[in-house]
């Protein structure tokens, strides 16, 4: 991102936006914030599973006769206290070095520090696994916004693929008010408590509360904006986390795409049983950014998206959460669809930069021959899932109106 684009994004992210009514017919897609959230989602791929597995091996070697370590409560101890009590100073240092001094981990803070002015980053959860899936938090000490970023599926991590395809439903009503059943693999990643008796979401919520309290005290305000983003598997985690009541994180304002402005979830979204897909309050809905015919987001059955065909007895009767924004280009319009919006809702792509500046900046993309690979039958839909292709698509996005995709023909026309 250029410095003007970054400045525009940070300005938008700090603005307070009130709750929207379901009767509003005009929504906004903030291009400046969308770019920044996509970068946050993409940079998480720098981190791999190796350091996590080394840290786990350190603990396992210290307790070869124990299968797990038990916690004595749901509240986190001060940083490092539990590790010191279990591993001692030397063992704790070895474990912390494995986690926080690896190449993948050390790529994230420098990226945050490279901003002008710099922002902060910290890893907050490993999402119930020793693979590369995790959740990180970005925030600006000089402002009032927080970004949670969930890493997507790594092609070499079998356990992450197993989570993606563990689609047997789980009851989610005890965690997410108004929900029935959700994708089992995604639910287990975020809400199932392991031996430590704390689910990953609880750890993430604690981190968000801590940062929010710090920002609130520094700026004498309770209005802290929380943005949640992710790509692929990370999008599913982000969708579930976003749907959880904001009181769990004690954040005054959750901001999102289309409802007011700014939640961006690149690629596939989580699936929800159809009877509950439209009962979530408008201010808590998420949006999905889609590139062309991305196979992960469009290939699997989602019969729950159609209230006339989806039934609770159908194993594939899942629905995407929130509205879907299919990116256009300089030559093609963008399209919007989804049950979270009224049909024919007027959606405007906007930026704090003037139209001429945005369109000139967006004219710079990857080589046409690389972009053309997305046109290859079948293979192109796989290529379209890559974060690099999403970034190229968003660089081509123009400010102005996005059209309502009111028919199947409209959707097929932009899947090219």
pLDDT in tens, 233-285: 888 888 888 877 665 665 555 554 322 223 334 333 333 433 333 333 433 33
> Which residues of 213-312 form beta strands (DSSP E)?
225-230, 253-254, 265-266, 271-272, 287-290
Cα–Cα distance measured from residue 70 to residue 195, given in angstroms and rounded to the nearest whole number = 6
User: In a 3-state reduction of DSSP, which class is residue 323?
Assistant: strand
Output the pLDDT for position 94. Answer: 58
Instruction: Report the DSSP beta bridge partners of residue 94.
Output: none
Sheet of 253-254, strand order: 120-125, 135-139, 145-150, 225-230, 253-254
Q: How many Cα atoms are found within 13 Å in the side-chain-facing hemisphere of 108?
A: 28
* Residue 301 pLDDT class (50, 70, 90 cuts): low
Fold classification of 3-48+102-413 is Rossmann fold (3.40.50)
Instruction: Report the DSSP beta bridge partners of residue 324.
Output: 288, 337
Output the pLDDT for position 261. Answer: 29
Greater confidence (139 vs 341) lies with 139
* Residue 211 pLDDT class (50, 70, 90 cuts): very high
Percent above pLDDT 90 for the chain? 13
Domain map (residue ranges) of the chain: 3-48+102-413, 50-99
Average pLDDT over residues 306-329: 70
Q: Is the pLDDT of residue 44 over 70?
A: yes
Pick from 166, 171, 191: which is nearest to 181 by CA?
171
Output the pLDDT for position 258. Answer: 28
Average pLDDT over residues 175-184: 76
- Structure pTM? 0.79
Q: Phi and psi (nearest 5°) for 206?
A: -60, -40
pLDDT in tens, 280-300: 343 333 477 888 888 887 776
Find tokens 């439903």 and name the residue. 169
Cβ atoms of residues 20 and 76 within 8 Å: no
Q: How far is CA 310 from CA 23, 50, 187, 317, 390, in A?
A: 26, 41, 21, 5, 30
* Residue 194 pLDDT class (50, 70, 90 cuts): low
The crossing angle, in degrees rounded to 10, of helices 103-113 and 81-100 is 90
**Most confidently modeled range among 19-28, 132-141, 338-347:** 132-141
Cα–Cα distance measured from residue 383 to residue 307, given in angstroms and rounded to the nearest whole number = 31
Output the pLDDT for position 280. Answer: 39
* Residue 105 pLDDT class (50, 70, 90 cuts): low
Output the pLDDT for position 140. Answer: 95
Output the pLDDT for position 319. Answer: 66
Cα–Cα distance measured from residue 180 to residue 140, given in angstroms and rounded to the nearest whole number = 36
Find tokens 């256009």 and name the residue. 328
Q: Is the pLDDT of residue 217 over 90?
A: yes
Cβ atoms of residues 40 and 121 within 8 Å: no
pLDDT in tens, 53-100: 565 555 566 655 444 444 444 444 444 555 555 556 665 565 555 555
Cβ atoms of residues 258 and 341 within 8 Å: yes
Cα–Cα distance measured from residue 135 to residue 237, given in angstroms and rounded to the nearest whole number = 9
> What's the mean pLDDT when you consider all of the chain?
72
114-134 per-residue burial string, b: 16 or more CB within 10 A, e: under 16: ebeeebbbebbbbbbbbbbbb
Strands 169-171 and 181-183: antiparallel
Sheet of 287-290, strand order: 26-30, 346-350, 400-404, 335-337, 323-326, 287-290, 265-266
Q: Is the pLDDT of residue 141 over 70?
A: yes
Q: How far is CA 142 from CA 198, 217, 301, in A?
A: 31, 12, 44
Pick from 415, 403, 398, 289: which is nearest to 344 by CA?
403
pLDDT in tens, 347-371: 888 899 988 777 777 666 788 888 8
Pick from 35, 108, 41, 40: which is nearest to 262 by CA?
35
Output the pLDDT for position 142. Answer: 95
Average pLDDT over residues 326-332: 83
């Amino acid at each position: 991102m250029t410095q003007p684009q970054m400045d525009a994004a940070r300005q938008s992210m700090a603005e307070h936006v009130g709750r929207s009514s379901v009767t509003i017919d005009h929504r906004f897609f903030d291009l400046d914030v969308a770019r920044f959230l996509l970068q946050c989602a993409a940079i998480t791929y720098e981190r791999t599973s190796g350091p996590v597995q080394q840290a786990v091996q350190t603990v396992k070697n210290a307790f070869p006769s124990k299968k797990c370590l038990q916690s004595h409560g749901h509240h986190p101890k001060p940083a490092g206290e539990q590790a010191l009590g279990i591993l001692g100073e030397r063992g704790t240092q070895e474990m912390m070095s494995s986690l926080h001094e690896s190449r993948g981990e050390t790529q994230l803070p420098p990226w945050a520090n490279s901003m002008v002015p710099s922002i902060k980053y910290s890893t907050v959860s490993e999402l119930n696994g020793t693979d590369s899936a995790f959740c990180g938090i970005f925030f600006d000490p000089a402002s009032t916004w927080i970004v949670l970023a969930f890493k997507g599926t790594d092609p070499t991590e079998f356990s992450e693929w197993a989570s993606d395809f563990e689609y047997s439903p789980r009851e989610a009503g005890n965690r997410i008010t108004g929900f029935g059943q959700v994708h089992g693999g995604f639910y287990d990643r975020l809400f199932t408590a392991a031996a430590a008796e704390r689910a990953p979401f609880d750890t993430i919520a604690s981190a968000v509360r801590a940062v929010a309290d710090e920002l609130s005290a520094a700026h004498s305000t309770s209005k802290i904006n929380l943005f949640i983003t992710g790509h692929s598997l990370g999008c599913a985690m982000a969708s579930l986390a976003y749907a959880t009541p904001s009181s769990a994180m004690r954040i005054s304002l959750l901001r999102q795409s289309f409802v007011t402005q700014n939640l961006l979830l690149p690629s596939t979204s989580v699936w929800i049983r159809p009877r509950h897909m439209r009962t979530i309050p408008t201010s808590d809905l998420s949006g999905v950014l889609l590139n062309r015919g991305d196979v992960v987001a469009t290939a699997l059955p989602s019969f729950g998206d159609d209230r006339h065909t989806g039934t609770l007895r159908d194993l594939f009767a899942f629905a995407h959460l929130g509205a879907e924004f299919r990116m256009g280009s300089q030559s093609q319009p963008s399209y919007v669809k989804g049950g979270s919006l009224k049909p024919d809702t007027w959606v405007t792509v906007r930026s704090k930069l003037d139209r001429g500046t945005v369109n000139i900046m967006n004219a710079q993309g990857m080589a046409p021959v690389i972009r053309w690979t997305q046109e290859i039958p079948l293979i192109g839909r796989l290529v379209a899932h890559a974060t690099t292709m999403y970034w190229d698509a968003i660089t081509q996005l123009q400010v102005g109106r996005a059209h309502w995709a009111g028919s199947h023909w409209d959707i097929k026309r932009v899947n090219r």
